[in-house]
Structure 1
Amino acid sequence: MEFNRASPAALKQAYTKIFGPGATLGRVRDAAVGDRLFPSDELEIAGRSLAWKLFLLPDEPLQAASIDAQPTPPLRSVQSARKKYVKLLREHLRAPDGSYEEGVVIPGGVSAATERQPSSSSDLEMNNPLSLHNENPWNEWFAAVETRKEILKDVERTFPEIAYFREPEVQMQLVHILFIYSHVVNRAVGYRQGMHELLAPLYLAVEHDSVDDSADPSLREFCARDWVAADAFALFCAVMRGASRWYEWQEPSAVASRPPPGSPFATHVNIPAGPVEAKPYVTPVVEDCNRIQHNLLRTTDPVLWKHINNTGIEPQIFCIRWLRLIYTREFPLPVAMKLWDGLFACDPSLQISQWICVAMLIRIRNELIPADYSMALTTLLRYPSHTAGEWAHHTSLLLKQALELQMTPTVATGSTIMLENRNILNIPIEVPAPAPPPQRRSARSREKAPEPITPRNAASAPAQAQASLEGFARGLLEKSEGFGINRTFMSAVPEFRRNLSELAASFVRSPTTPSFQLLEDERTDEEKPPWEAKSRRWFETRIQELESTARRNEVTHKRLAEGLSKAVDVLLQDQTQVEDLERLQRSRREAVEAISYVRDMLASNVSEIDEERLFGEEELRKRKLVNDEQAKVVKAAQPALPSPLPVADSRPPALPPVATTSRHTHTGSSPTFSPTSAPHAPWKARSNFSDSLPSASLPRIPPPTSSAIRRPPNPTPIPDKPRTPPPPRKRDSRSGLDRDPLGVL
C-alpha cells in the first residue's frame, strides 16, 4: 500500500505561509496556538512537519534582529541532525565482523550492504560469536539484538487502526530510531513503552511532507524523501528533551556514578562524607502526577479536587498515560496532532502539559463529581472525546485555558474556565445529581416462583426439594469442572496425603513447649481506628441508640404536626364569620408563633417541646378543661365492687370453737363497700373489713385435691394452748392497701 503524500502545490503553499514574506516566528506561533495555522481536521495535513521543525529544532529562525525579518527554515540544524543519525547507525547497527542485518538502509539513499567493512580485530579468540571472553564485542551485539526485538513488539502494535504503520519498511525505521535513542542517546533511561506512540505521529508527518529530487529547490533539501528517518529522529529527540523525565524509572545518580565496564575502579564504592539522609526515590512522573491533583487542581477547582480525593483515585492511574503519550490515547490521533501544533509552538519544553491536564479535568467535572469510584475511574481512563463538529476548536480552547491557569492559578480562573465551557462547548455549570444505582434482577427472581405447599402437593414437596438440591449440586460440579477446580483439587489430594503426617506432627504440642497466651486487645471500641472491626456490643449499642432516637423523633414530629395543623386551621378561618375579631387576631398571632416554633424545632436537634409556644395559652386552657371533664366522666363510669356473700360454716361440728385463738373478733356485722371511698379500680379497691368480722363469713378452706388425704370423722379435741399474738399487718406504702386484707394467710 502506497502512502498518500502531500501534493507539491499544497506543500509549497504551506511553506510560503510559514516561511514566506511577512511571516514572523511570533505570528506563526500565534496561528498555531489559535488553531489557524492548519484549519483542516484531517490526519494528513501538508506542512505540519515544517512547522514542527521550526518550533522544535534548536536553530535561530530569524536572520535579522528586526521584527519584520523573514524566518528561514532551520536547515543548519536539520543537516547536523542528519549527519549525527547516519554516524550512529553505522556504528551501532554494524556487527563486530563488519556486516549489517538484512534490509538495513542508511538514510541518504545508501544501502548498508555496499558499506560492509572488514573487522578491525583479527583475534578470533576474543572477536568470535562463540567466545566466552568477557570483553567479547559480540556480547554487546547480542544484547542490542534483543533490545531491537523488544522494541519491534511494541512497534507492531502502534496505532492498529492506521494501515501505514503495518508496512515492514516503516516498522524497521521506527525500530532503528528508537534503538539509537534508547541505546545510545539516552542510555540511562533506555527504552520504555510509550515511546513508539510519540515517534509514530512525528514520522507520519515527516513522511507526508517528503518530496523527491524533482520538487521545488526550496523544498528539495528541507523535505528530502531520503532523509525522512533522520528528520523524524531529530524531532523525536527534541520532543524527548521535555518528555524524557516522564520515562525515568531509577535515580540518575545510580547510573551517572557507575564506572564504565573494564575500569579499574569498577569495584570501588565512593562513600560520601557526613550523614546520609535516606529518602525514598520518587520518579519525576509520579511527582508531576501528585502535583497536578493535589496542588494545581486544588488551587483552581477545590470542589472537584475534594471529590476525587474522597473517592480514593490516585493520580498515577490516569496522569501517567496522559503525560507520557501526550494525550494520543485521550483524543483521536488527528485531534491529538492538532493539539501538538499549539503545544510545540507555545512551550517546546512541555512544562504546560501539567496545566493541560488540569483543564481537561475541569472540562469533565460534571461527569466526575456525581460518579462513584468505578464510574469516575472509567471516565478518566476513557476520556470523553468529541469530534470537531461537536466541539469546534476545542484543542485551541484547551491550550488557552491551560495558559490562563498557568499565569493565574486561582479559583476565579477555574470559574472563568467553567463559564467558557458553558458558552463555547455548551457544558452546563450545574453539576447533575448522581444517578441511582441500576436495579439488577437476580437469576432467582427471573425464575418461576415456587408453588405454595398445600395438602395436595405436600407429599411431593420433599421430592421437589431433593431434585432442586441435586440440580444445584450438578450445576456447581459442572461449573467447577469448567474452571478446572476439580482437576486442581484432585491433583492436590495425593500431595496432601503425603504431607498429612508431617502436618499432624506440627500441630502436636510438645511437652517442653512453653505455654503462651494470646494477648487480648485491651482497647475499647472508641479507641480503635475506623478501619478496624468493631465488636458486636458496639453495634448493638449504636442500634439501640438509633432506635430510641427514632422513637423520640417520631413522637416529637407527631406533636409538631398536631400543633402545625392547629395553627393552619386558625389561619384559614374566615374573618367575616367570626364575632370576636380581637380574639381571632390574637389566635392568629399565636398560630404564626407556633409555625415559627415548628420551624425552629425542625432545624434543631431538641426533642423537648414547649407546649405553650406550640399551642398557645388559650388553646392549652381549652385542652386542660377538656381533659378534666373526660377524667370526671371516666371516674363516674367505674363499676362498684359487689359485697361478698356470706359463706356457711362447713367445719365438723365436733371441733370446738376457737374464739379465743382467732385472729378476729366476731361481731356479726357484714362487710360493706363504698365505691366512692377511694379512686381505685375495682380490683385495687381498698378493703374495709373490720377486725370483728365473724368467722362464719370467711371463705372456707378448699377441699383436698387427693382422695388419699381425708379428715377423720371424729377428730380428737385439741386442747387450748397459749399462742403468741400474730405480728401486726403491714400496709403497702405505695398503694395504701393491706397486704392480707382477708386475714387468711
Structure 2
Amino acid sequence: MEARAASKPLKQAYAKLFTSGTTVSRLRDAALADRLFTSDTLEIPGRSLAWKLFLLPDEPLQPLADTEATPPLSSLRESRKKWKHLISEHMRAPDGSYEDGVVPGSSLSERRASTGDLETNNPLSLHNENPWTEWFASVELRKTILQDVERTFPEIVFFREPEVQLQLTNILFVYSTVTNPAIGYRQGMHELLAPLYYAVDYDSVEETSELANDPAIQEFCSRTSVAADAWALFEAVMRGASRWYEWQEPPAASRPPPSSPFATHVNIPAGPVDIKPYITPVVEDCNRIQSNLLRSTDPLLWKHMQAAGIEPQIYGIRWLRLLYTREFEMGSAMKLWDGLFACDPTFELAPWICVAMLIRIRNELIPSDYSGQLTSLLRYPSHPAPDGPHHTSVLLRQALALQMSPNQATGNSLVLENRNFLNIPTEVPEPPPPPQRRGARTVRDKAPAATGPKASDPRQQSTQQMGFDFARGLLEKGESLGINKTIMSAVPEFRRNLSELAASFVRSPTTPSFPMEDERLPEERPPWEPKSRLEIEREIASLQSTNKRLGQSLSWAVDILLRDEAEAKDLLHLQKSKREALEAISYVRDVLTSNLTQIDEERLFGEEEIAKRKKAAEHKSNPSNSSTVHVPHPAALTPVPVADSRPKVVPVAPPPPGPIVSSFSAPPASPNAAQSPTSPSIAPWHYTRSNFGTGNLPSASLPRVPPPTSSTIRRPAEPSREPRAPRPAPPPRAKSQTEHDPLGVL
C-alpha cells in the first residue's frame, strides 16, 4: 500500500510554509499552538516539509526571529549527494557488486571490480587483511537490523512493504557503521526512523505527477530522494537523541583532562583520580527526572513513587529513546513531534515533557502500589481532549512552563489545566482496599467444621459450656441493671456466635493436620521469593542422605586401600578391589564437584561389596528366614597373622538389654539411676555411636590397651593396675558365640 499526498493539498501546504511571506518564528509558534496541522492523523500533507524546515536549516546558526521561511534546498542537495556517496562506497562488496535494491536505477549494481590477489581478496581466505571478513560482519549486522525493522509498528501496513524495510535497514546501517560507529546500532532507533520515513514518503512527488511543472516542489519532494531525505532528518534528530543511546564510556583521549589550580606549581597530575563508575547519560537523565525535576514540582507524587520503589529507568529510558511513540498513538506522537521539532530541536525539553506526563497521571499513581504504578507507566493511559487544543499541545506548553519555572506552584497550575482541558479531577481518589487473600475464611465459615457431629473433644465441649455460661450470666446481669432493649437485642446474636468463636480457637484431635505447604509450585513462584521451610528441610534431608552414602563409599574405599599387598593371599583380587576403590573415590569427587543430584549406587562400591549389601538388604526385608544375623570372622575365610595391621571385620555382639548410654554424657549417679522412673530419659540425638572397635580396628592389633572409658560397664575398684602387653588375637570362635566388649561402646 503506497499512500501519497494529493497534489492540491501538498501544493497548498508548500505555499503556506514558503510562499506566504510567513517567518520561521511564526511557523514555530503555530506548530506549538496547534495551528500548523490541526489533525492528528497519519496522512497530513506537508508535515515532512515543516520538519525539513525546522531540522535542516541552511545556515549552521539558528535563523533570526524575523527571517522569512524558505525551503532548505542547499542542505537537501548536500545531504543527498553525501547519501549517494556513502551508499555506493560502504554497501559495495569487495568484488565490486551490490545487493539487489541497494542502489536502484544505477549502473554500479552491475559493475564488477577486479579481485586482485586471491590470497587476500577471497571469500574463503583466512588472511588477516581479507576484506571479505568485514563484509560478512556488515551482512550479519544488516540481518540484525532487519529483524527489528520487520517488527516496526505492526499495525501499520506501510512498514510491511519489502522496499520500505530495505530502505530503513540501509539508513540504520549507514548511520551505525559509517557516521556514528562509536554508538553503533541500538534497539529503538528503528522506531525513531519509521515516522520520519513515513512522512517523507507520503509527501514525495513522482516525476510524472501534476506537480512536475513546479520545479521547486519537484526538487524539494523528489520521489527518488526519499531515503536520502529520511536519512538527513534522522541524522538531525539523533544529534539531540544520540546521548540516550550511548552505552559505553568514551575513550580517555576524547574526554577533557581534569584541571587543578596546583598543577602549575607542583609536579603532580592535573586533577584527582576519577574512581566513580561510569553512568550512561540516559540513566542520569532518568534519575534527574524523578529525583530532581519531579520532586521540585510535585513533592506528593514523588513521595509516593519513592515509597513504592519505582525506578525511573523502567519508564524513562523508553520515553526518552523513542520520543513517546509507545505512549501515544502514531498520529498523536507525530503531532507532538511537530511542536517539539519547532521549539526545541536539541530535545532539552524532553525531560520536562516526562515530568508533565507524570503529573497528568498522578491520580493513577498516588493511590496505587508498585504493580499499579508500573502498569500506568508502561501502559500510559490516554486522555483525549473533548474540546480545545490537542492533548499533546497542552503537554508541550506545560513542559515549557515547568522548564521556565520549576516549582510547586507551576505543578499545581498543571493540575488545574488538566482539569480544565482534559477533565481530569484535581482530587486524588482513595486507594483501593487490599485484596482478600485466597483461601481466607471468616469465623462463621470455619465454625461448622469444628462444631459438627464429629466434634466430640471434651475440651471443646467445656469451652462451649463456658461460653454459654458467660453469655447467660451477662444476660441476667443486664436485666437486673435495666439495660435498654436495643442493647439486649444484640446479646442473643452474641450468645450464638460466642461458642463458634471459642470453638474456632480449639483444635480437635480428630481433625487431620496437614503440613503448611505453598499452594504454588516452585517453578511458578517469582525468583525473589524465598523458599519455604518445608522445601529447605527437604533439601537438607536429601543432602544429608547423599553425604551419608558418599561417606560410606569413602570408608569402604579407604579400608580397601589400606590392605597390604605383600600379605594378601589373592594378589589379583586385591588389586582389582583397590582399582574399584580408586574408581569409587574418583566418582565421589565428580559428585562433589559437579553437584549431581542422581547418584549411581553401582559406582560407589565394588562388585563384591555391592553383592554383600544386596544380600543384607534382602535379609532385612525378609526377617523370617533367620532370627539372628551371624557375621563370619575374616579369619575363617582368610587366615591373617597376628601382627597384621590391616582393618579386619570383628563379629559384633548384640548389646545387652537396657537403656543406651552415651560415653559423652554424664554417667548416672548410681547403678539403679538409669532404671529410675523419675530420671529423665536421654534423647536419641544425644547418643553418638562410635565405630571404634567395631571391626575396622580390632583391639588385638593396637599398640597398647585403650583406657577404660566406658560408662556402661561397672568394675570393682582396684588399687592399681600395671600396664600389660598387648595380648594375641583370640582364635576363631563358633558363630553362636558372642564377643565381650572391653570398651563398652556398643
Q: Who is 1:423 aligned against?
A: 420
Cα distance change, pair 276–457 in 1 and its aligned pair in 2 (3 A): closer
Cα distance change, pair 45–61 in 1 and its aligned pair in 2 (3 A): farther
Q: Who is 2:25 aligned against?
A: 26
Q: 1:189 aligns with which of 171, 183, 194?
A: 183
Give per-residue Cα distances to partners, 1:51-98, cap 9 Å, x unaligned.
00000013149999893x642100110111111111111111111111
Native 8 Å contact 1:367 1:376 kept in 2: yes
1:96 maps to 2:91? no
1:389-468 correspondence runs (5 A) = 389=386, 392-439=389-436, 441-442=438-439
The alpha carbon displacement at 1:448 in A equals 11
Measure, in 1, the Cα distance between the counterparts of 2:379 and 2:247: 25
Cα distance change, pair 502–86 in 1 and its aligned pair in 2 (3 A): farther
Q: 1:383 aligns with which of 380, 384, 401?
A: 380
The alpha carbon displacement at 1:306 in A equals 1.8
**Counterpart residue identity of residue 392, structure 2:** T
Choose 369-378 or 274-283, whichever is displaced more. 274-283
1:174 maps to 2:172? no
**Counterpart residue identity of residue 49, structure 1:** S
Q: Who is 2:229 aligned against?
A: 231
The alpha carbon displacement at 1:391 in A equals 7.8
Cα distance change, pair 111–354 in 1 and its aligned pair in 2 (3 A): farther
SS for the counterpart of 1:126 is: coil
**Counterpart residue identity of residue 72, structure 2:** P
Measure, in 2, the Cα distance between the counterparts of 1:412 and 1:196: 39
The alpha carbon displacement at 1:167 in A equals 1.0
The alpha carbon displacement at 1:279 in A equals 1.4
Q: 2:274 aligns with which of 259, 274, 277?
A: 277
The alpha carbon displacement at 1:40 in A equals 1.2
Give per-residue Cα distances to partners, 1:6-27, cap 9 Å, x unaligned.
1011100111111122211011
Q: Who is 1:113 aligned against?
A: 109
The alpha carbon displacement at 1:430 in A equals 1.9
Q: Who is 1:77 aligned against?
A: 75
Cα distance change, pair 480–73 in 1 and its aligned pair in 2 (3 A): closer
**Counterpart residue identity of residue 137, structure 1:** P
SS for the counterpart of 1:187 is: coil
**Counterpart residue identity of residue 417, structure 2:** E
Give per-residue Cα distances to partners, 1:600-648, cap 9 Å, x unaligned.
xxxxxxxxxxxxxxxxxxxxxxxxxxxxxxxxxxxxxxxxxxxxxxxxx
**Counterpart residue identity of residue 158, structure 1:** T
What is the RMSD computed on CA atoms of the aligned residues?
A: 4.0
Measure, in 1, the Cα distance between the counterparts of 2:92 and 2:543: 55
Measure, in 1, the Cα distance between the counterparts of 2:275 and 2:415: 44
Give per-residue Cα distances to partners, 1:267-323, cap 9 Å, x unaligned.
xxxx98775321110100011111111111111112212221222211111111110
Cα distance change, pair 251–481 in 1 and its aligned pair in 2 (3 A): closer
1:48 maps to 2:44? no
Cα distance change, pair 61–277 in 1 and its aligned pair in 2 (3 A): closer
Choose 421-430 or 82-91, whichever is displaced more. 421-430
Native 8 Å contact 1:54 1:61 kept in 2: no
Q: Who is 1:206 aligned against?
A: 200
Give per-residue Cα distances to partners, 1:438-471, cap 9 Å, x unaligned.
335539899999766766899xxx9x989x989x
Q: Who is 1:126 aligned against?
A: 120
Cα distance change, pair 298–482 in 1 and its aligned pair in 2 (3 A): closer
Give per-residue Cα distances to partners, 1:342-390, cap 9 Å, x unaligned.
0000000011001111111111112211111211121111111134547
Which has the larger Rg?
1
SS for the counterpart of 2:220 is: coil
1:322 maps to 2:309? no
1:8 maps to 2:4? no
The alpha carbon displacement at 1:434 in A equals 1.3
Measure, in 2, the Cα distance between the counterparts of 1:494 and 1:195: 52
The alpha carbon displacement at 1:111 in A equals 6.1
Measure, in 2, the Cα distance between the counterparts of 1:64 and 1:481: 62
Q: Who is 2:56 aligned against?
A: 57
Q: Who is 2:612 aligned against?
A: none
**Counterpart residue identity of residue 314, structure 1:** E
Identical pairs, percent = 64
Cα distance change, pair 255–10 in 1 and its aligned pair in 2 (3 A): farther
Measure, in 1, the Cα distance between the counterparts of 2:107 and 2:335: 35
Give per-residue Cα distances to partners, 1:630-688, cap 9 Å, x unaligned.
xxxxxxxxxxxxxxxxxxxxxxxxxxxxxxxxxxxxxxxxxxxxxxxxxxxxxxxxxxx
Q: Who is 1:153 aligned against?
A: 147
SS for the counterpart of 1:320 is: helix
TM-score by length of 1: 0.58
Cα distance change, pair 17–111 in 1 and its aligned pair in 2 (3 A): farther
SS for the counterpart of 1:3 is: coil
Measure, in 2, the Cα distance between the counterparts of 1:423 and 1:299: 23
* Structure 1 stretches lacking a partner, 5+ long: 258-270, 484-492, 508-745
Native 8 Å contact 1:203 1:232 kept in 2: yes
Measure, in 1, the Cα distance between the counterparts of 2:321 and 2:295: 23
The alpha carbon displacement at 1:209 in A equals 0.3
Give per-residue Cα distances to partners, 1:508-546, cap 9 Å, x unaligned.
xxxxxxxxxxxxxxxxxxxxxxxxxxxxxxxxxxxxxxx
Measure, in 1, the Cα distance between the counterparts of 2:225 and 2:231: 10
Native 8 Å contact 1:243 1:324 kept in 2: yes
Measure, in 1, the Cα distance between the counterparts of 2:392 and 2:399: 11
Measure, in 2, the Cα distance between the counterparts of 1:100 and 1:192: 25
**Counterpart residue identity of residue 295, structure 1:** N
Cα distance change, pair 321–294 in 1 and its aligned pair in 2 (3 A): same
Give per-residue Cα distances to partners, 1:130-167, cap 9 Å, x unaligned.
11111211111111111111111111111111111111
Measure, in 2, the Cα distance between the counterparts of 1:284 and 1:344: 21
Native 8 Å contact 1:63 1:70 kept in 2: no
Give per-residue Cα distances to partners, 1:324-347, cap 9 Å, x unaligned.
000001111110000000000000
Native 8 Å contact 1:293 1:305 kept in 2: yes
Number of corresponding residues: 479
Q: Who is 1:367 aligned against?
A: 364
Native 8 Å contact 1:63 1:71 kept in 2: no
* Structure 2 stretches lacking a partner, 5+ long: 256-267, 457-507, 526-540, 556-746
Cα distance change, pair 452–152 in 1 and its aligned pair in 2 (3 A): same
Q: 2:294 aligns with which of 291, 297, 304?
A: 297
SS for the counterpart of 1:249 is: coil
Native 8 Å contact 2:365 2:373 kept in 1: yes
Measure, in 2, the Cα distance between the counterparts of 1:371 and 1:247: 31
1:36 maps to 2:35? yes
Measure, in 1, the Cα distance between the counterparts of 2:430 and 2:453: 53
Native 8 Å contact 2:32 2:343 kept in 1: yes
The alpha carbon displacement at 1:105 in A equals 3.2
Native 8 Å contact 1:41 1:388 kept in 2: no
Native 8 Å contact 1:288 1:354 kept in 2: yes
Q: 1:344 aligns with which of 335, 341, 345?
A: 341
